[in-house]
Amino acid sequence: MTRDPVRLSRRRFLKVAGWTGLAAALAACGLGRVSPATLPSGSALPSATPTPPLPTPLASLTPTATPGLTLREQIGRMLVVGFRGTTADEAAATIADLRDHALGGVVLFDYDTPTRTPVRNIVSPAQVTALVAALRGAATQPLIVAIDAEGGKVARLDPDLGFPATISAAALGARNDADFTEGYARALATTLRDVGIDLNLAPVVDLNLNPSNPIIGALDRSFSADPYVVVAQAEAFIRGHRSIGVQTALKHFPGHGSATGDTHLGVVDVTGVWQQVELEPFRRIITDGLADAVLTAHIFDAVLDPQHPASLSQPIVTGMLRGQLGWSGVVISDDLQMGAIRQQYGYAEAVALAIEAGIDLLTIANQQIYEEGIVGHTIDIVEGFVNDGRISAARIAESVTRIDAFLAARSG
């Protein structure tokens, strides 16, 4: 009998995560949840339903993607790619992708991980300004230029390279002064705007429920363990950016703060430690109309989805984020080359699952591994899935429509 490689891939993920078999039982019983003892009574909490019903596709969205784009160009607009090069000449391959494939976005880094070498894209303010101008000049469609300018240990624009010093989310949360945070964020966004960056992949709205979490708490990336402090600080951070015309992205949905591992390196299973209260910052900021985009985590939670990590999960992205929390805007994946994804799925399958889950912008950071030609390769993959009937052309147009609205909000 022919063995289904997709089914085997899912089984391997669950095996590594340690929840094969038990996942279904947990999901059926609704177990693995810890109620936040510190949350004041009467506060709005997310529903305890593990897997919310999926909204009807396109129920509130009629695809109106930019007319005249081919299918391949629409797919290209769904990609946000990291690249090597500090000048237009060094970034010639990416310049060609912008010109030939309608590449939707790029993300800038200071160095490659984990070695921190070589220099990726950032040398000085003048150099970044010239590089971004060259990228925009080559683009055939409006271009997203993104960066992780959270502040503190995750800033990318280093003071040693001539950029202003930044403040970590933990320090801002400890101060808990919304006016100060908004003013600081306005200055940070001005730095980004001045070099041509228009999307800050921040703020982190993960709750600091595990201070020893190697990728969140230990790096001071969370404002606080208190959801109300996180919401107040994140909203001030967003207002500061919006006043300068720079967009932001809430991360990492549905919450990475309680984890004990780093999804850059491999599977991180949060079943049994993830708490419902981790949704509250996302819920509140979305409800308050201050979300520009939402970026997903690669965490695995057998209760929320017994088969897939969040970035590849239709119950989490489409069911929970869109259906339960009511988010209708752009959803961005975390890097699809990170260990939590790369170790368990082939690249093509991960791309298919992300699109099926409801992701609009696929992030391919080219950090831990570098793949020349990844843009054309990914377009070929997705076009093949459309031709085979696995993914519909309407599903691609749906994402492009959301991307168009996201870009219109930036210019408006």
**Catalytic positions:** 264, 334
Residue pair 293/251 in contact by the 8 Å Cβ criterion:
no
Torsion over CA: 91, 378, 326, 143 (sign) = positive
Question: Tokens 């929320």 sit at which residue?
Answer: 304
Q: What token pair was written down for 67?
A: 């007319």
Residues in the chain: 412
Torsion over CA: 328, 329, 330, 334 (sign) = negative
Which residues contact residue 146 at a Cβ distance below 8 angstroms, ignoring those fewer than 6 apart? 80, 105, 106, 107, 108, 197, 198, 199, 200, 201, 249
The rounded distance, in Å, linking the Cα atoms of 241 and 23 is: 41
Strand, helix or coil for residue 330: strand
Q: What single-letter DSSP state applies at residue 324?
A: I
For 71-81, letters b (16+ CB in 10 Å) and e give ebbbbbbbbbb
The rounded distance, in Å, linking the Cα atoms of 352 and 149 is: 29
